[in-house]
Amino acid sequence: MSVTIYDVARRAGVGIGTVSRAINGSPQIRPETKQRVMDAIRELGYTPHTMAKRLATKRIGIIAAIMPFYTGHFYQELLRGIQKSLTEFEYDLLVHFVDKPEKLNAYLDRTLSEKRCDGLLVISMDIPEEYVDQLQNARLPVVVVDRGHDRLDCIQVENERGAYLATQHLIRFGHHKIGMISGNRHSEPAKQRYQGYARAMREAGLTVKPEWFISADMLETTPKIQQNDGFNIHAGRVAMKRLLQMGEERPTAIFAASDILAIGAMRAANEAGLRIPDDLAVIGFDDIELADYLSLTTMQQPMYEMGKMAVDRIMEKIEAETEEVRQFRLTTRLIERSSTRQAGR
């Protein structure tokens, strides 16, 4: 029914091999012949059948990405970067959003058992050990994004260092009582940011009071507070409220592990009648659109670049068929706005 290269070949009075050469820009063809073929293609309205081509070349032309169902600028920018790079390689993006960890396993099973993509991007998720082996056996190129991994290629932001610098920024302004608000602690980035915070405090000779650290998993287990892995505005607000109950003992500055948490914290502070940065200094992490809007000082993450690099790397792996594993780290940048300033004392 649909027009194939045979139809084109007949029409142009050539063999199908010639048609194929014409389509794929092979140099092994006389310009006039090519022209004839192209004319026939136009006249017939021929369009190549992608699946047949893929079967023959064994190259799928698709990269799959698995990522959590979180809202937000972070993933949006990451996707932008991924898309940008992919387009240049003329590859398509198959996305799969996952809400529960079990679904990740199910999807990995499917990906493994049906060769539907040339490479896989696993974003902000931890791959169960058993699947790591399977992935390697299947020789499917994988790049882990926004997480570290010792056996797979990965690319992430320097979370520890970013948190360290953020905390240092607060310290430089004379703050001694610095608290931290975080999403759930179990994820790698969350842990690393805590460590950066703690290290900055230690090196400055400041004590890290356990009461000054609040993470979403220490709060209520309502869906509202726990959504997005605890990195949401409500968690930030509730955490800050808790901190504020300490009265005189409360921190004078807060390092929030994400901008959205910082915004929730600022809100709670405002509700308590505190002004920012005079009564409380706040620094975030991400640099989302709202951060600029609310004059929130923050550590900017190069999300767009991370997306691009992830694709570049996976394409490299696909083309080189290399088994070599490489881990990348991108640096963060301090964006100073007016939510941080000299401590009041």
Residues that bind its own copies (CB under 8 A): 47-52, 54-55, 60, 62, 69, 71-73, 76, 79-80, 83, 92-97, 112-116, 232-234, 267, 289-290, 293
Angle at alpha carbon of residue 210, lines to 208 and 215, rounded to 5°: 110
Binding of DNA at residue 34 (CB under 7 A)? Answer: yes
Contacts of 192 (CB under 8 A, 6+ apart): 159, 160, 163
332 binds DNA (CB under 7 A): no
295 scored as a contact of DNA (CB under 7 A): no
- Determine if 111 is a binding residue for DNA (CB under 7 A): no
Tell me if 23 contacts DNA by CB under 7 A: yes
Ramachandran sector of residue 72 (left: φ over 0; alpha: ψ -120 to 50; beta: rest) = left
Backbone angles phi, psi at 249, to 5 degrees: -80, -5
* Subset of 50-79 contacting DNA (CB under 7 A): 52-53, 55-58
The smaller minimum CB distance to its own copies, of residues 97 and 326, is found at 97
Residue with tokens 């192209």: 38
Query: Which residues, 6+ apart, have CB-to-CB distance to 183 below 8 Å?
Result: 190, 215, 216, 228, 229, 230, 231, 232, 235, 257, 258, 261
Q: Which does 205 bind (CB under 5 to 8 A by kind): DNA, its own copies, none?
A: none
Of 3-11, 164-172, 173-181, 218-226, the window that binds DNA (rule: CB under 7 A) is 3-11
With respect to DNA, which residue has the nearer C-beta, 55 or 320?
55
Q: How far apart are CA 182 and CA 102, in angstroms?
A: 24
Strand partners, 155: 145, 328
Q: How far is the CB of 43 from DNA (least distance, A)?
A: 15
Distance in Å, CB of 67 to its own copies, minimum? 11
* Contacting range for DNA; rule: CB under 7 A; set: 21-29, 120-128, 268-276, 331-339: 21-29
Cβ nearer to DNA, comparing 24 with 207: 24
Stretch that binds DNA, among 22-30, 103-111, 155-163, 316-324 (CB under 7 A): 22-30
Residue 117 as a binder of DNA (CB under 7 A): the answer is: no
Q: Which residues bind DNA (CB under 7 A)?
A: 1-2, 4-6, 13-18, 20-21, 23-24, 27-30, 32-34, 46, 48-49, 52-53, 55-58
